[in-house]
Amino acid sequence: MIDGARLKSLREAAELSAAKLGEIAGVSASAILHTERGFDKLGLKSIALVADRLGVTIDELIKKES
- Report the chain (66 residues): mean pLDDT per 10 consecutive residues: 93 98 96 92 92 95 75
Q: According to the model, what pLDDT value does residue 57 have?
A: 95
How far is residue 10's CA from residue 33's CA, in Å, rounded to a whole number? 13
Q: Can you give the residue ranges of every domain in the chain?
A: 4-56
Topology of domain 4-56 in CATH is: 434 Repressor (Amino-terminal Domain) (1.10.260)
Residues 6+ apart with CB under 8 A from 42: 2, 25, 27, 31, 32, 35, 50
pLDDT score, position 12: 98
Q: Is residue 32 within 8 Å of residue 4, measured between CB atoms?
A: no
Secondary structure of residue 36 in the 3-state scheme: helix
